[in-house]
């Protein structure tokens, strides 16, 4: 792909996806209408985190392409890993402590049980249940540090895509293969969920593939037509009886829809994005919103408890409050941090 200095359109959609992640963790629409919540979750929110993975792989690729020397490539990967590790550890510690306090002080669960569950979650997914996307990217970059060879990303993509398809065939209760039940049970006993690098690395390697091998521009209207067809197919697949074949088609369909949104963002001309403060700072804002959003959720939970409201009964209001807090905080933070010292430290 042509090396533009900035990809404002991707930055803007990443910012949108960051707020979609906020809506996921506040269960937007659940209190208004469960059917609306299902539609929103099934057709909108499920593609936000895959977009993050694809864009991360895309922007990570120059670190692999700048040199053919293995030492130089490993040095670039190491620098990227450490740069991402700092905010992950900083915010991860905060969320680990807050999630423990919430379960012990508010939910009145046993301290020993909570600590065991949280440490288990920390090892296999994320600290306190948040930031799992960053945790997965850290594992992917660690893997690449050890095994990557110049221009050898296609085998990694093939392996990761095969792994990506596994969740569609291994759960017999959802139309999967019966003999896969022991594998399914053993996996969930250890890893607890599918939110990890095992099943999401395919999106990251897709970003690398697109950066290295997408040479021709595609008309946006063609991409939108394809996207509409993919969504129609997705709706049909979601409403027919489940079996292995249908599940595989649905899983691949989800992959192509997520990739389609990234391709649309990639092919929108920068001229379509109005020049201004938001355009120039969208990437920073999306990072701040993603790392900080759980803090805003905990704050809103405390406020709602003080005024006598249950979070579960006013999820949509909580989302609005969190969004306002995050917008104000990120804008003020960026404007005050003119030398970018704090943003480098915290994010």
The full DSSP string for 7-29 is: -HHHHHHHHHHHHHHHHHHTTTT
Percentage of the chain with pLDDT > 70? 96
Written as six digits, the tokens of 189 are 């006993």
Residue 4: pLDDT band (50, 70, 90) is: low
What is residue 337's predicted lDDT score, i.e. its pLDDT?
Answer: 79
Would you say residue 294 has pLDDT above 60? Answer: yes
What is the tens place of the pLDDT at every residue in 68-86?
A: 677 888 999 999 999 999 9
What is the tens place of the pLDDT at every residue in 193-208?
A: 999 999 999 999 999 9
Q: Tell me phi and psi for residue 152, to 5 degrees.
A: -120, 35
The secondary structure of the chain in percent helix, strand, coil, rounded to multiples of 5, reads 80, 0, 20
Would you say residue 272 has pLDDT above 80? Answer: no
Let me know: does 251 contact 307? Beta carbons within 8 Å: no
pTM of the model: 0.94
Q: Exposed, middle or buried: residue 129 (CB in 10 Å: 0-12, 13-18, 19+)? A: middle
What span, in angstroms and rounded, lies between the C-alpha atoms of 301 and 157?
Answer: 41
What is residue 68's predicted lDDT score, i.e. its pLDDT?
Answer: 65
Domain ranges of the chain: 8-346
What is residue 76's predicted lDDT score, i.e. its pLDDT?
Answer: 92
Let me know: does 335 contact 284? Beta carbons within 8 Å: no
Residue 279: pLDDT band (50, 70, 90) is: confident
Report the run of H or E that residue 54 belongs to, with start and end.
helix 48-65
Residue 152: pLDDT band (50, 70, 90) is: confident
Nearest to 297 by CA among 125, 111, 131: 131
Q: Tell me phi and psi for residue 73, to 5 degrees.
A: -65, -45
Q: Please tell me whether residue 270 adopts helix, strand or coil conformation.
A: helix
Would you say residue 3 has pLDDT above 60? Answer: no
What is residue 215's predicted lDDT score, i.e. its pLDDT?
Answer: 81
């Amino acid at each position: 792909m042509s090396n533009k200095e900035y990809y404002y359109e991707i930055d803007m959609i990443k910012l949108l996806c960051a707020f979609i992640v906020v809506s996921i963790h506040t269960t937007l629409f659940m209190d208004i209408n469960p059917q609306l919540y299902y539609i929103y979750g099934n057709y909108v929110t499920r593609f936000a985190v895959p977009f993050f993975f694809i864009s991360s792989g895309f922007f990570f690729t120059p670190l692999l392409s700048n040199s053919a020397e293995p030492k130089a490539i490993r040095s670039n990967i190491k620098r990227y890993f450490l740069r991402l590790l700092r905010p992950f550890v900083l915010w991860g510690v905060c969320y680990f402590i807050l999630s423990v306090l919430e379960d012990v002080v508010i939910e009145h669960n046993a301290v020993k049980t909570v600590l065991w569950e949280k440490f288990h979650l920390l090892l296999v997914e994320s600290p306190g249940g948040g930031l799992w996307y960053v945790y997965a990217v850290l594992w992917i970059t660690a893997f690449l540090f050890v095994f990557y060879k110049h221009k050898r990303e296609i085998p990694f993509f093939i392996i990761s895509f095969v792994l990506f398809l596994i969740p569609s065939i291994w759960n017999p209760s959802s139309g999967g293969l019966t003999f896969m039940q022991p594998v399914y049970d053993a996996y969930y006993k250890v890893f607890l969920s599918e939110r990890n690098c095992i099943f999401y690395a395919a999106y990251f390697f897709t970003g690398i593939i697109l950066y290295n091998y997408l040479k021709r521009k595609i008309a946006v209207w063609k991409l939108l037509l394809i996207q509409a067809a993919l969504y129609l197919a997705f709706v049909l697949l979601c409403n027919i009886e489940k079996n292995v074949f249908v599940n595989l088609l649905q899983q691949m369909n989800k992959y192509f829809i997520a990739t389609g949104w990234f391709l649309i963002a990639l092919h929108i001309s920068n001229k379509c994005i109005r020049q201004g403060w938001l355009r120039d700072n969208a990437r920073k804002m999306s990072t701040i919103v993603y790392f900080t959003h759980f803090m805003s959720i905990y704050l809103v939970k405390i406020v709602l408890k003080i005024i006598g409201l249950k979070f579960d009964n006013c999820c949509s209001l909580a989302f609005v409050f969190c969004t306002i807090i995050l917008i104000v905080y990120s804008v003020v933070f960026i404007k005050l941090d003119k030398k970018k010292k704090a943003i480098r430290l915290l994010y």
